Structure 1
Amino acid sequence: MKSLSLIVLLSMVFSCNTSAQKKDDQLQNKTAFKVTKTDAEWKAQLTDDQYQVLRKAATERPFSSPLNNNHSKGTYVCAACKTPLYKSEHKFDSGTGWPSFDRVIEGNVAFSTDTTIGYMRNEEHCATCGGHLGHVFDDGPRATTGKRHCINGDALEFVPAKS
């Protein structure tokens, strides 16, 4: 009887489907976004590197993006759908080799949980098209938000501020 109870209990624990999991499923399926395209359409629109990062959640090599050392005033937008994601005044040099920001433009970035490398990380996506941007960590500047939004440069385009 104890064995049966244990089996039932374990099956309940491992079959739970929480609202957080449903949210992650929506992000993975890319069906809840305003901009949706077929895989072929994304491949035609994006460079190979952009496609790998934005649609396949790849990570570019550190220090490979020219945006890492960009210090101009302006806005960083999604390379896939042009949604404004980060402002230049919130960018900082984290020393990690990826463009880093201490905050997002509210409402334009969606979050999910990533466990692909064996532990949990907070993954960032464009809230408009679902494109993978990078991850957010709690080791950012303490004087502001304490957050480090570590973003792939291939996921971004820079729009300079108008003078």
Structure 2
Amino acid sequence: MSRFDLTPPTQAQREALIAGLSGEERRVLLQHGTEAPFCGVFLDNKREGTYCCRLCGLPLFRSSAKFDSGTGWPSFFEPYAEEHLGRIRDTSHGMIRTEIVCARCGSHLGHVFPDGPPPTFERHCLNSVSLAFVDAGEPLPDPLGRGGAEAGPA
């Protein structure tokens, strides 16, 4: 069980969070878009820390689970906590994939594929615009004002 509050934001909180998004962030997070490959700000990020949902701040992935998949998008082999992700069958674009969304706010993050490295053999392929990054040792974001945000991994 997660030590983070997974209760969805209220409509007022959601509207306030959406107001702070760029057009590209809205297109990807809210309309299930995809950013172009090899252009995301976190593709080559090597810093230690935590990747969080750009909209609601929920921790999604640790830098220690990031790997270079060669696909052009930041890739991770395991989530921060499995219950922080929702998995949805996606049959768009003439293929069957598994979409991953933030379990708290429902924002589109990317897709997960069964071709990652051990130990999970999963490749969580993420859009950089779906993410916010918190350096190790810094407090995690708390845009919903729920308190209890913990520091990212040291």
Which TM-score tier does this pair reach, normalised by the shorter chain? 0.7 to 0.9
User: How many residues of Structure 1 are paired with residues of Structure 2 in the alignment?
Assistant: 131
In the alignment, structure 1 residue 79 sits paired with structure 2 residue 54: yes
Displacement of 1:101 in angstroms is 0.1
Q: Deviations over 1:45-87 (max 9, x none)?
A: 2111111110000000001112000011100000000000000
| Aligned-partner SS, 1:68 | coil
Q: Show structure 1 runs of 4+ deviating over 6 A.
A: none
RMSD between superposed Cα atoms in Å: 1.9
* Normalised TM-score (structure 2): 0.79
CA distance, structure 1, for counterparts of residue 43 and residue 10 of structure 2:
28
Structure with bigger gyration radius = 1
CA distance, structure 2, for counterparts of residue 46 and residue 130 of structure 1:
15
**Paired position in structure 2 for 1:116:** 92
Unaligned runs of 5+ in 2: 1-6, 138-153
Alignment of 1:95-134 (within 5 A): 95-106=70-81, 107-134=83-110
**Paired position in structure 1 for 2:34:** 59
119-128 or 41-50, which moves further after superposition?
41-50
**Paired position in structure 2 for 1:150:** 125
Cα contact 2:18–2:55 (8 A) shared by 1: no
**Paired position in structure 1 for 2:8:** 34
Displacement of 1:99 in angstroms is 0.4
| Aligned-partner SS, 2:51 | strand
Q: Indicate the structure with greater helix content.
A: 1
Unaligned runs of 5+ in 1: 1-32
In the alignment, structure 1 residue 161 sits paired with structure 2 residue 136: yes
* Normalised TM-score (structure 1): 0.75
In the alignment, structure 1 residue 47 sits paired with structure 2 residue 32: no
